[in-house]
Chain A
Amino acid sequence: MLQDANGQITETHSVSAGLDYPGVGPEHAFLKDIGRAEYVGVTDQEALDAFHYLCRTEGIIPALESSHAVAHAMKLAKTMTPQQSILVNLSGRGDKDIGTVADLSNADFFCRPSCQGQTVKGEQAISLAALNGSKA
């Protein structure tokens, strides 16, 4: 768990809802401890970039969770030879994330909160500032 010294769970943030969680399951924890799997981090922006890249190059819309894996695979590929292969598990489909991606990419997307001047995830600070400005 992401926790402080008193065992209080701390806040998390991730662009993907499925990763916006402060815990790791016992299987993953065990695999890491015995050294069978290696775990890496990827930023929101890298995941978003990978989401767009896979859409454009393969016509596959990965879930934002899986986009993190695509982002790391792209980094890893640069260290490998053309003869070597990488297998990426696209654990989820990204059509569920189209709205989030549209908001974060400033896309003019039909009937999204962002197109109606409402607060969207990731842009709360900006929207609140705009709202306060319009009141004044």
Chain B
Amino acid sequence: MSRISPVMAALKGAGRKALIPYLMAGFPEPSHTLGLMHALVQGGADIIELGVPFSDPMADGPVIQKAGEAALRHGVGMGEVLAMVREFRATDKTTPIVLMGYANPVESYNLQHGVNSFVQDAAAAGVDGVLIVDYPPEECVDFAASLRAHHMDLIFLLAPTSTDQRMRQVR
């Protein structure tokens, strides 16, 4: 179980909704991200969603696209994002972190650092959940199992048009 489930259960018990703000890692400057993450927690964030910059962000709107471009200009990649999470985790052991991003930086990380290295390094850094928008559930059964084995959640997007069958499939 990740840190996410207890947080959600506690919120449900208190009758509260979760506040999950999003930050693009490395925007506006890589050195700002750590401070912004702690500030979000102080401001009441229950969970932090951290964007991994990608050159082809086909599921993001213009605001996050621009933030991602700025982060890329600073050379922020998956390795840098995991380092930021590791640094955050050094002082905050409780706030869940979800990485939101795309398949290619994950695949590329595994190519560079070895099979399944992303899952291992993300777990070691203190990541709790991963949302990879271009991994459809049918295509990432092994990835999902590996995340579960490392106490991380794989999160999927649902739309108002998603069918009951699809909702069950991504639970």
Contacts and interface: CB of A to CB of B under 8 A. Distances in A.
Contacts of A8: 53-55, 72, 77, 104-105
Interface string A1-27: 101011111100000000000000000
Category for how many chain B residues contact A: 10 to 19
A9 B78 CA distance: 14
Interface residues of A, number: 8
B56 A6 contact: no
Contacts of B105: 6-8
A5 B109 CA distance: 8
Provide the main secondary structure of the chain A interface. Answer: loop
Interface string B109-128: 10010000000000000000
Contacts of B54: 7-8
Provide the main secondary structure of the chain B interface. Answer: helix
Give the one of B78, B104, B106 with max A CB within 10 A.
B104
A7 B109 contact: yes
A1 B112 contact: no
Interface in B144-165: none
A20 to B, nearest CB: 14
Contact of B79 (A1, A3, A6): A6
Contacts of A6: 77-79, 105, 108
A7 B111 CA distance: 10
4 smallest beta-carbon distances between A and B, as pairs:
A7-B108, A6-B77, A8-B55, A7-B105
26 contacts: A1-B104, A3-B108, A5-B77, A5-B108, A5-B112, A6-B78, A6-B79, A6-B108, A7-B54, A7-B77, A7-B78, A7-B104, A7-B105, A7-B106, A7-B107, A7-B108, A7-B109, A8-B54, A8-B55, A8-B77, A8-B104, A8-B105, A9-B55, A9-B56, A9-B104, A10-B55
Interface of B: 53-56, 72, 77-79, 104-109, 112
